[in-house]
Amino acid sequence: MSEQVHRSCCGLLFDAISIDMEAAARQIREHPSLWRAIPSGNWAQSYHFCEPEDFPELTAKYILVLDALNFCFWTAPEYEYRHLAGALKKQAQTHPEWFAAESLARLSQEDLTQVLLSIYEQDFPQGMESFLPEFFAQMEERSRLVREVGLQLLRKWDGQCLNLIRAAKGSAVVLVDLVLESFPGFRDYAVYQGKQIAFHKRAQIFVGDVWGAFHGHELGRLEDLDRLTCFADYRVPQLLRSLGILKYSAQLSELVDSKTVIAAGSSFEVQIRAATVVAVERLRELLALEFGIKLSSVELDWVLWERGESSLGTLAPHHRTLTMFY
């Protein structure tokens, strides 16, 4: 399925975005140390639940639920990815039974809201009312996606996420396919220029997270991880644009910089995501061939995402699209 993502994106013509590989080469020459791999073990940051040795099933289910919910944080600017991951981590540590497939399958919108808002209330001394309307706007869809995870684990995998991972037999590509087959909410397509375009951001990032959480060993030993693409989202194109690697047309720049919502599935939105995939693939080739830095697209995505997260105060705005896919 990663080949489908690569083929469908790399075959497109963009009229609103260009990719400047000379700018990419300059960035690498000027800051070579910033383009090195982040060790897979770094996935286990303070806000992730990651105990693969003692609790492999709970770790796997945590990742699956996390990536079922890993989309569209910009509608509530005060609530970031780290809040989502940290709230779910707290739940895994204090109420691991919550992650049982039977429990997930009957999860209510109210229960999910309570869990997701439980841990970082101290971050909002002015009260949480400032972002609750926006946060609640997608809570119905978020709770539906978690229920789907529970139901499909019960129907297809005897309630166990480890059964899903083991069925891939060490193949990242097969695991992406199994996730897409098992969970309709992970199927991330668009139509552009009369073609169906595959992105599958959340399915691929689940596989990358499994590799990271299990440190690339045992269940995380995925021999063909390098066949996945980057995870086309908000932060990576935002950083690539700030580095001069992605260049937007005047019209698209005005929309993005004014924080105007760009419709999901529109030409502009598909071009941003597809150009991101193409740019990361070209970057990966450039790093390997001219600079001797060999990274998978997953590793390069981590490098770019981490740089974007650490530079939020200096970056121009990212595009705004209301979607369940990223």
DSSP string, 103-154: HHHT--HHHHHHHHTSS-GGG-TT-GGGTHHHHHHTHHHHHHHHHHHHHHHH
Identify any residues that bridge with 191 across adjacent strands, giving them in sequence order.
196
Look at residue 84 and tell me if it is in a domain: yes
Residue 207 lies in a domain: yes
Query: What is the block-wise mean pLDDT of the chain (326 residues), using blocks of 10 residues?
Result: 64 91 96 86 85 97 98 86 93 97 97 86 62 77 97 98 98 98 97 94 97 95 95 97 98 98 97 97 96 95 92 92 96
Both tokens of 149, joined, read 């995870």
319 inside domain:
no
d(CA 203, CA 176): 6
> What is residue 126's predicted lDDT score, i.e. its pLDDT?
61
**Domain contains 119:** yes
Backbone phi, psi, residue 44, to 5°: -80, 70
Q: Is residue 215 domain-resident? A: yes
Q: Terminus-to-terminus CA distance in the chain, angstroms?
A: 18
For position 6, what pLDDT does the model report? 62
Residue 145 lies in a domain: yes
Number of domains in the chain: 1
Supply the pLDDT for residue 1: 46
Q: What is the pLDDT of residue 25?
A: 97
Whole-angstrom distance, CA of residue 16 vs CA of residue 18: 7
Distance in angstroms (rounded) separating the CA atoms of residues 22 and 244: 9
- Residue 322 within any structural domain of the chain: no
Domain limits for position 194: 2-33+44-314
Distance, CA of 198 to CA of 9 (rounded, Å) = 8
d(CA 312, CA 326): 18
Which residues belong to the active site? 233
* Cα 254 to chain centroid, rounded: 26
Q: Could you tell me if residue 268 is inside a domain? A: yes
Residue 118: predicted pLDDT: 82
